[in-house]
Structure 1
Amino acid sequence: MKLSVAERGWKNNGLIDTSRFLREFRQNIWKIVLAGVIAGAVAYPLISLMPKQYVSTATVLIKAQQDNVLPFSPVEAYDSTRNGYYETQYALMQSRIVLEQAIKQLGLAQNPQFTGEKAGGAPQSEQQRLDNVLKTLLKHLSINSVRTTHLATVSYESTSAQLSADIANGVARAFIDYSAGQKRLKTRRAAADNQQKLRALRAQIKQQKEAIDRYLAQEGLLVFRGIDGFETGQLDIATSRLADAVQRRVSAQSLYHEARTGSGRSLSTVISLPAVSGPGQMQDLRNAMTQAKRSLYELRKSYGPGHMKILAAQAQVQAIEEQTRQALKEQENGLRQQYQAAQADENNYRNQLEQQKRDFRNLALKREGYNDLKLELDQTQALYKTLYQRTQEQALSVSDSDADAVLYDPAVPAVLSAKPDKRFLLLMSVILALLLASLYYIIRAARGSAVDTASQLPEHFNLEPLGEIPHFSGVNSHEQLRHKIVSDPLNRDTIHSIRSLIMLNPKKLQVITITSAGQGEGRTLLASLLANSFSFDQKTLLIDMDFFNREGLSGELNAPQVPGVADVLCGSKSVDEVLVQLDDRLDFLPGGNVLVSSQLMLSSDRLQPLIETLRTRYQRIIIDAAAVSQGPDVQLINAVTDGLILVLKAGVIPVKPVIAALEKVANGHSVVIGGVLNQVEIREGETKTRGRVRAANSPGFPGMVERS
């Protein structure tokens, strides 16, 4: 089974044909070269006038850690390991406050080149000058980070190499000074805040001391080695004295018990005790007792018991014993009194100790109140000491604040200009012109895949080219256009060539439909001209079946309101009643009065008999049908005709809508004879016979395919 016209058109349209682009390029190569030359000639003086621009770059090192200048921590610390630290520094370098500081340091606000002030112009305010300088500075200033490093580059572009270097270094130094100044400012503010806090702490310490003094006076407390130092000392003394009293009482008690004579001991035993024999009187009595007993012992050796000397000696011994007993009694009374006195002292000291213990226990509650006040005072004094030390550190830090960045590599005036590269710009201008010119001709060749010449019909649609109708400028009506074509032998031969191709077709093409993909493409003109051509030697009928256009073929032939084919299809008129004779061999069947839908008329049972009747009366029948896009009318008409000619407007209708139209009309039973291109632009130097298709060159019409 053969491919349909539409299927072949789709197949061919899917291919990219580069030959036409190459052909267009070869034909216009000299124009493209001329465009490049003209572009170079125009660009050269403009590029030559461009001033040289110098770029100087200063490199700033962002510190990863603070310098250890002072042994104590600064007020403002930073952690370079945090995300975004370096990006923040880079952003601060181009902040408004840093740039304004650089502008003031460099004196750019007085430079008319930056402020934009003109001689004789209105004076600008200080803020206006600063804003204008800032805009100019930002336009030519660039700050970038060096990847994977802690470096940032500050570059400035200017027509002056020295000014470019000065501004790059000025911006870098302004950032460094600003960061150091911010540190100093924060340190001063912190020191001032700490001084205020110190004054408040001193007043608080004074109040707390006064509160302690009032508490001590109110509670009658003394601070001696602590709040309980005095009581503790007194308690120690009382304890020591009690111990001494107990010792004295025990000693006195022991002596008293030893000196007691009523315990059944002999006088000699009692007097020999150390506690008794100690005093001098007892020693004398013991000595006298010893001498008296020795004398009595000697006398007994010489005298008998009754001798006067013996008796006198015995009497003396008894007298000494009586005297000793009396002394012992007195001594015992003395020891008893001494023991009683020691016992009274012990009891007294014991009572004092118990009283001091009770007083000490009562002191514990007062000590807690004092300790609370003392603790608050100690904490306040410790805070004051710390704050005072920090204030002294900040006083030293004010003068030694270090910046967070260093101008590592200052900018120097550039020797060579950075731009413009005039040779490169000139070359790029020429290349761009060549590219644009080439692109123009490529686009013109491809221009939306529209058809410009009849020779493109086989390429895009696999459609036989029957001919071209040229475009005439200044023609406003179909009558004038028809006259232009008929009066010119070359244009007239174009229509006759189409007639010849139809007659040479091996198919019997008695009834021919003229249609188009869209409206206003020239199908009415072609139907009229082709009918006139066939009427030269054949009985021809021209039928207006374009029921959508009341001013179409019927209007041109002055029969817009007369009955016609519509009335015949509706059964209200016969053919002979509506037939209009134009000349001896050419008749015209107007469109008539359309009272119902054209689809109802064309799909009725009267269309086929009507065409068959007309076939018997005319050798050639030309039908002007509506456009394919207007509805299925052409498909209904195509079912009863022998062939169809598609009229296309050159350079307007894209390929895809035409292929879609061919797909619709190819579903009928008639042959798609070919296509005629209307309003073709004839370029200077080309002949009007370019669009003619000679029958001798198309034997058998291989491009004309009947739907199988």
Structure 2
Amino acid sequence: MDTNRSQESMTRLMSDDVIDLRQYWNTINRHKWGIFGFAIVITMLATLVVFSMKPVYRAEATLLIESKNANVVSIEEVYGLDAGNSEYYLTQFEILKSRQLAERVIEKLNLIDNPEFNQKPGFIAATITSAKNLLPLGVEAELSEEEQARIRLQEVTDQFLANLTISPIRKTQLVKISYDSYDSLLSARIANAIGDAYIENNLEARLQLTYKASEWLMERLSGLRDKLKQSEQNLQEYREKEQIVGNDGGFDIANSELDLVASKLVDARRERMALESLNNQIKKVDKRHPENFELIPAVLQHPLVQSLKGSVLQVELKRSELSKRYGAKHPKMQAAQSELENAQRSLHEQVLSIVNGIENEYRLALSAERSLKSAVNNTKQELQSINRKDYRLKELEKEVDANRQLYDTFFTRLSETNATGDLQSANARISDPAHPPQSAEKPKKGLIIALTFIVGIMFGTMLSFLLEALNNTLKTAQDVENKLGATMLGLLPKLAKKGGTENISYSAYLNDQQSAFAESVRTIRTGIVLSALDNPHKILCITSSVPGEGKTSLTLSLAFSIGQMEKVLLIDADMRRPSIAKNFGLSGKTPGLSNLVAGTARLEETIHKDEKSGIDVLPSGIIPPNPLELLSSERFAKVLAVLETKYDRIIIDTAPTQAVSDALVLSSHVGAMIYVVKADATNYQLAKNGLKRLNEVKAPVIGVVLNQVDIKKAAKYGGDYSGYYDTYGYTAEEKTA
């Protein structure tokens, strides 16, 4: 069970969220004639207004705004124009729409006295002015003539700007100047005058700017001249003080000297290192054995040593040859030996001389290296000093150059400004002057009328949806079931009114039993019978929410219908506004229910037979002072009990539930109650409250009957009523007939 309930809840929620386009279409279809009527009325009013409006003519002049200034020399910086920037054009467009330019044109064309700008105020404006004069707003101070003229100029300027339109043409340097006026000739004059005024204003602005620029340049040039002289004097004084010569202050000379000394230092260091290596080798040899010095490559490779060693070798060879022939004491051998010793002694002496020379060269190389190193350091210090002087020198030179450049620039600009002060060219020209238009621009009568009709349709549609949303009446069987939560027992179609016939629905069933109305009554009768087959509702009570919903019509029709099958008694229990007696041709003083309950008349005197329908009728009788007490009395209950034994079915017509409580009292005496609701008229909340009151006293309400249903109109709501009355072809016969 829980699962089924949850599924039903989900289904109901989904159905609520779905947009039913058919309902929207039905709403529009129901109100279509009202929508079209509203649109036509609005369109007719708009047509009258449009044809009463004065025609407005629009003249257009085309202005070319050049992107570059046509100056003989380049002095754009003086004017501050950046023609390549789009902001330049936007600025020019705003100038064209400025009040200053508009006032220039107004003064030039004397528009303040023009009739178009001095029209009489309209009816609304005149009424407002009159109302302000009548109100006690205090006494306003009188304005002077100048103030009045200023206010008048502001008013004319506002009107002038309201009719002016500036429209730039995309991706071009052209702009259209449009002016709307009632006078075609005036509109063309004003459009052309705006272009001329813009060009003149631009030339005047350039000329004023030139004069201001010249004046400012002269003031600046005087100060710059003094500043340049002072900077040149400071530079010269510094050169003299520091004794700076050359363009770079002696920096190139010192730098060349440093390169030369550094190069010599490298060579001296190289030579010293080579001699230091030989000297270290020499120190390791004992000078008492000079022959050991010959092992040193530098000594051995000395040319003189090589020559002496060659001489010693020759002497040794000679001595060797002599030793083969002579003995050691031979004079020739002794002479050769003496010659050999002398050669060896000369060699040793020469070796020692070379060694001493190498030592002396090493000491000289060491001294030279130290001297060159000291010279390099001194040159570096001198170079650093020159760098410091050069830094200050360059500062002074840059200051002089900057002042001279600035002075030259201003001097050039001043010369250009003075030379071109009288040579000005406009940045704009009128490429296509305005001509008086032949046809009016406004109002576009056809377009306005068409748009008014469309807007009227749209507004009428919106209004129809609003009325539909505000309509809280019950119109369809679905409304009865959804809004009231009650069972739909049936409906009664709305009958066409006939001239001179009152309450046609009272006798509609008897007059034409083949009609849709009669069939709908029989459908309701069938529903009543089927609602209680085993225990038929012997006493039926019909009520409604308020008077006029047709409960009496249903009561009579059901009585006639059921009377064709059973013995029926119709009781008029609406003792406040009784109407059944009159329908059967009975007098209001005829004894009835009140007399029977009160005991002033017998049962036979109060019941009247209707020969046409065959039912018995018990009218209300004389209206009692308190009908509610009569209906709630035990005597009334006894009367019903007696009548129940005599008839198969008793049908009671009672008062509405929202007016009195009669129906609540009767609910305890009847077997079934039928609630009548007038279609498209009764507020559903009112009907819901009536049913709620009946449910609170546990009244046996078996269903609701929707009365006076306009079938054609209801079909537009999406209702399908064929099941209630369109049976056996009655409706078809009626339509055919």
TM-score bracket for this pair, using the shorter chain length: 0.3 to 0.5
Q: Which has the larger radius of gyration?
A: 1
TM-score for both structures, normalised by structure 1: 0.48
